[in-house]
Structure 1
Amino acid sequence: MKKLYIIALIIILLTPLGLLASGSAWGEWSLDEVKEMIGYVPEGMSKFAELVKGILPDYSIPGFDANFFQQAIGYVFSAVIGIAAILITFAILGRVMGRVKKKNG
Structure 2
Amino acid sequence: MGLSMQSFITEHKRALMLIAVLLIVSPLFGVIGADIVGYHEPLDVAAEVLGLNETGLWSGLLPDYSVPGLPENWAGLSLGYIISGIVGVAIILALGLILRGLVAKG
TM-score after normalising by structure 1: 0.68
1:1-105 equivalent positions in 2, closer than 5 A:
1-17=12-28, 18-20=30-32, 21=34, 22-25=38-41, 29-30=43-44, 33=46, 50-51=56-57, 53-100=59-106
Does the 8 Å CA contact 1:60/1:71 hold for their aligned counterparts? yes
Cα distance in 1 between the residues matched to 2:27 and 2:68: 17
Aligned length: 88
Instruction: Give structure 1 stretches of 5+ with no counterpart.
Output: 40-48, 101-105
Instruction: Give structure 2 stretches of 5+ with no counterpart.
Output: 1-11
Cα distance in 1 between the residues matched to 2:59 and 2:86: 19
Matched residue type, 1:13: I
Deviations 1:54-86 (A, max 9, x none): 320111111213311111111110010010011
Cα distance in 1 between the residues matched to 2:81 and 2:71: 10
Matched residue type, 1:55: L
Matched residue type, 1:63: G
How far 1:35 sits from its partner (Å)? Answer: 9.0
CA RMSD of aligned residues (A): 2.6
Identical counterparts, % of pairs: 28
TM-score after normalising by structure 2: 0.68
How far 1:97 sits from its partner (Å)? Answer: 1.1
Matched residue type, 2:61: I
Matched residue type, 1:67: N
